[in-house]
Structure 1
Amino acid sequence: MQIRVNTDNHIEGSNRMENYFDNVIQEKLKRFEERITNLEVYLADENSSDKKGTDDKRCTIEAHITGIKPLAVTNHADTVEKSVLGAVTKMKALLEHTFDKIKTH
């Protein structure tokens, strides 16, 4: 499973940050790694770094899976880390639901 982290111009992307999020995402989605070809992670600060706001950090994760259309989730939080953790949790639930649905049909 290949993971690509993309940031907007208001969030500084670093190798350390990417490695941390890669590890977190791989750990949470480990049981699906054979079915997911790649994950696109998009991080954004909706209010920019000049303005402060609640839940203004957004993480969208798009999973590309062999044989079905891509799945996507979005989570908002007050920090980038929380937005990623929330999005990964949502993606895990969506993948479980999707693969359970495929099994029953």
Structure 2
Amino acid sequence: MKIQFNTDKNIEGHQRLETYFTGEMEKSLARFDDKITRIEVHIGDENSDKSGVNDKRCMIEARPANLQPMAVTAHADSVEKAFHLALDKIKKSLSTTFEKQKEH
């Protein structure tokens, strides 16, 4: 499973965040490792340098082998919260998708 990490110009600490988030994703999605070819993480601040409620966005796109890509988005007041919310969503989506595949 290859993990690609992208941030917009408003997010600081790109390398530190990438290292932390990649480790978290590898732990959380380890059971899907052989079923996913690539994961893309997009982190952004929708209000740029202005403050706002839930203005941090994390979009995670998973590309399961031989299936259509799936994507989830989460908003929160911090990058870390948005990431963890999106990670929970993609984990549930992948679980559901692979469970349905087993039934057929």
Q: TM > 0.5 between the two?
A: yes
**Separation (CA, whole Å) in 2 of partners of 1:99 and 1:67:** 12
SS at match of 2:52: coil
Alignment of 1:12-31 (within 5 A): 12-31=12-31
Structure 1 equivalent of residue 37 of structure 2: 37
SS at match of 1:5: strand
Structure 2 equivalent of residue 77 of structure 1: 76
Alignment of 1:45-64 (within 5 A): 45-49=45-49, 51-64=50-63
Alignment of 1:94-105 (within 5 A): 94-105=93-104
User: Residue 7 of structure 2 contacts residue 14 of structure 2 at CA under 8 Å; is this kept in 1?
Assistant: no
Structure 1 equivalent of residue 89 of structure 2: 90
Counterpart residue type for residue 56 of structure 1: D
List structure 1 runs of 4+ shifted beyond 3 angstroms.
none
Gaps spanning 5+ residues in structure 2: where?
none
Q: Percent identity of the aligned residues?
A: 49
SS at match of 2:88: helix
